Structure 1
Amino acid sequence: MTVLEVAARRGRALVGGHPVGQGDETPVGWGAYAPGADLPAALVELLGEWARAAEAVERSGAGPRTGEAVRVSRTGRQLAARVSVLLRQSVDYCDPVTGVRIPLRAISTVSRVPEVSLPRRGRGRVSPVFSEPTPWASGLTVAALVAGLVLLLNLTLAVPMVAGLGLVGLLIDLVVAAGLVPALWLNRHVPTWRWVVWGAFAGMGVALLPLLVVAVRGVPAG
């Protein structure tokens, strides 16, 4: 059984070791790898733009957990699955971001491939690599729930301390909250987790006002 590798190197997409996109709109066939089989021009274009996006992410130095890198990895896997469907062959997807090889066997269906857009280059960053709809409804719901939970926990734990120690207690609470900021900040672009991060920031920020009131007035807990 012939297994094709779908990979991206130096801004070029490779299928079975052959670079795609030799012509602007000409479908690319793979000869001995898939006799008589061609890839549609639209897929060839998507593969080319994905490979250029992968190269841009690599040059930017973005980590594998950043939003841009995650979208490159996910879209590459979806494109590899589509190649497997069209060529009716098993595919090894070589992730250009992590270097992990993922075998795709007996592919029969493939999810929708996100719209791919050319990366924006500037100041060493690539944003966005792929244009995907932002899940505002579900994302803001998650952020609101996290903000409410963080607000409740912060007030429950900090109010007694701040009421007893005043501004010193508020300072202690700020130091504890500041210790969590670096870990949260690293995940601010990670899909799904970014909503949790911003919700946590919002909850900590809103909690400052009632805690400040307690610190100034010395209102006793309870």
Structure 2
Amino acid sequence: MELRIRGERAVLAGPGGEHAREVDPRRLAIGADLAQALHEWARVASAVSRTGPDAEVAGSVVSQRGRQLAGRLAAVMGTTVRFIDPVSGVETVVEPPPRDPASPPRPPGEPRLARHRREPTPWFTGLTVSAFAAVLVVVAMLALTTTLARETSGWLAVLAAVVVTGGITPSLWLGRSLPILRWAVFGAAAGLVVAWAGVLAIVF
């Protein structure tokens, strides 16, 4: 099976190369959450691809998210998934996880699900990382805005804040569900909100 992007949609294709029949993930028994995540990734990947080579950070997050979704897809479908990075063009083949011999056999037609042991949420460490990311974003945004407002004009400072916000938003959106990175993402998103309040206060 091959994971592809057509326009801003994710599609899955069987063997046969470019002429293979493509199927919308929502039509397969992979779960609504995974199908929705695949389409969200495809939309962001298409947007990042259009920005060119300048969006290196966003491109790396898109690549990491794509490999993660390909791994989930291989686990659910129980088959090998071929994934071509939409940013770098690197091809990756993801194998399904080996089946535990001690586990009971799957009923016919039931997709194979990856088994994950639930672990306690690291609230203290996670919130510490979130707070650090929020402070970093607030300080950086306010320093940029203050300098531009003092040296040039307030409208240029607002424009710079808009560019910075638009540049990191795709990375924040993709990283919101990654187990470790999401703490920094939540903190950076909160820092953006607080920073914008400061930007408007400085400019106006």
| Range into which the TM-score falls when normalised by the shorter chain | 0.3 to 0.5
Flag the structure with higher helix content: 2
Structure with larger Rg:
1
TM-score (norm 1): 0.43
TM-score (norm 2): 0.46
